[in-house]
Amino acid sequence: MRAMPSCPKCSSNYVYEDGNIYICPECAQEWAKEDHLEKVDSLRASDVNGSAINDGDTVVVVKDLKIKGSSSIIKVGTKI
């Protein structure tokens, strides 16, 4: 199951899809699925130097990262 996008207007997580559109029940914002797909395609991770990070690349964490919804932390120096 794929994750639903957050509402671009109010950032609500309660978005649902209806046919070819997404709808936010909190602010009544509606937008096309294609709009979301274009934004996802345009988001790319990059390293400190601005080079794109691709599948299969190895990176080293330079700052402790808290894992959302957990008390775990990814420590500095961890290779991912």
The residue extents of the domains of the chain are: 1-43, 46-80
Considering only residues 47 and 76, tell me which one the structure prediction assigns the higher pLDDT: 76
For 25, the token pair is 């029940």
Q: Do residues 31 and 22 make contact, with C-beta atoms less than 8 angstroms apart? A: yes
Q: Do residues 25 and 44 make contact, with C-beta atoms less than 8 angstroms apart? A: no
pLDDT of 77 reads: 86
Whole-prediction pTM value? 0.43
Per-residue pLDDT of 4-56, as tens digits, reads 888 888 888 899 988 888 999 999 888 887 765 555 545 577 777 878 888 88
What is d(CA 61, CA 80) in angstroms, rounded to the nearest whole number? 8
CATH fold of the domain at 1-43: N-terminal domain of TfIIb (2.20.25)
Write phi, then psi, for 32 (nearest 5 degrees): -75, 150
Average pLDDT of the residues in 52-67 = 85
